[in-house]
Amino acid sequence: MIKPQQFVILGATTFVALVLAAIVHASTTQRSLGLVEGRPVMPELRRQANALGSVEISKRGRTLTFVRNGEHWTIKERNGYPVQADKVRALLVQLTNAELAEPKTAAKDRWPLLDLEDPAAADAKSGLVRLLDASGKPMGEIVVGKRRPNAFGTGRQGIYVRRPNETQTWLASGEPNVTLDVKDWVDPVFFKTDTEKLKRVTVAHQGEAPIIVEREGEAGKGGKFVLKSVPEGLKVKESAGIEHIALSLGSVELEDMRKLDSTPVGEAVSVITAESSDGLTITLRLRRDGKPDEAWLSLSAAGEGEAKKAADEINAKAAGWEFKIPKWKADQIGKRAADIFETT
């Protein structure tokens, strides 16, 4: 299970200091640019930073809620998976720093031109950001729309905003990130290993003979990975990419995650076993039982001595979770006989 203390934290003192710095910066920027307004987009952050309990981003009927638990941040909709605190910090500082600069249209039929339509609409490009205190009581909210490059000089972007209960739209300073892509808020690399130490990788699909690739020569000496054997009557395709089975394990990034209640089994699950020269053994379970292009990966590790230390680190981060990975990565890790062999 991932331990919250393994992640960067955003403490109350640090956040308040950042808010004060943002206010000073915003005030200076306002004077230098000669903007017509200067009111903060979210004044609640300046007045009640310590009361902030969670940040909620909503678009098209989907929501991500970043919950503040002491000095840690987690994703409510992902069973408390840890968020990288520096990314939440960046959002909060942007929201604190943002100020209304110029009024724009108040006509609802023109909102879509600024990506400020109802965020709950199925085709909405806007996003709703809500601040809530520790009890879940709303502190403030803003609809965030299209960015405007170089709005305040070269390299200084602006963004269109409006308050949910108002028709008036505004050009504001700043560029808060309101994405709903989970990978943009967490550490995207959930697994990596030293491929120079790999000596053997076995890919087992139900109902098929296992595919085994082994390193030529000693691990760490740069030897290539080759097939242990080729079935009679078949030959290896030129496009087989045998080495990718092993080398693709060097680093694996997630697209999403979900809680794992039990070890995946069944026809839709492939088991990949990676053995290293230092005694580390990693077992990966690749599940494809949903949409055709959807693949989920879970893993566990074991070892003795130094290998046990590496195994413990892997298990601490991955145990109890299943990670959605890109299709191309799943295709590399879980190659099948049909991807490798052709008849002679």
Residue 22 predicted with pLDDT over 70: no
Note the pLDDT of residue 70. Answer: 80
pLDDT band per the 50, 70, 90 thresholds, residue 344: confident
pLDDT at 12 over 50: no
Distance CA 327, CA 293 (A): 6
The answer on pLDDT for 28 being more than 90 is no
**Alpha-carbon distances of 290 from 51, 78, 283, 294, 310, rounded to whole Å:** 41, 18, 21, 6, 32
pLDDT band at residue 303 using 50, 70 and 90 as cut-offs: very high
On the question of pLDDT at 16 being above 80, the answer is: no
| pLDDT tens, residue by residue, 36-58 | 568 999 998 988 888 999 999 99
- What residue segments make up the domains of the chain, in order of their start? 4-182, 189-343
Q: Which class for 57: exposed (0-12), middle (13-18), buried (19 or more C-beta within 10 A)?
A: buried
Alpha helices in the chain (DSSP H): 12-33, 43-47, 85-97, 242-247, 306-318, 327-333, 337-340
Q: Is the pLDDT of residue 6 over 90?
A: no
Take residue 190 and report the two structure tokens written for it: 């959930």
**What pLDDT, in 10s, does the model give residues 213-266?**
999 987 666 689 999 989 988 999 999 999 999 999 999 999 999 999 999 999
- Closest to 120 (Cα-Cα) out of 159, 179, 63: 63
- Asked if the model's pLDDT at residue 144 lies above 50, the reply is yes
Strand partners for 138: 132
Find the largest Cα–Cα distance for the chain. 79
Convert the pLDDT of each residue in 83-135 to its tens digit: 999 999 999 999 999 999 999 999 999 999 999 999 999 999 999 999 999 99
Averaged pLDDT for residues 23-34: 45
pLDDT in tens, 167-180: 999 999 999 999 99
- Kindly state the percentage of the chain with pLDDT values over 90: 77
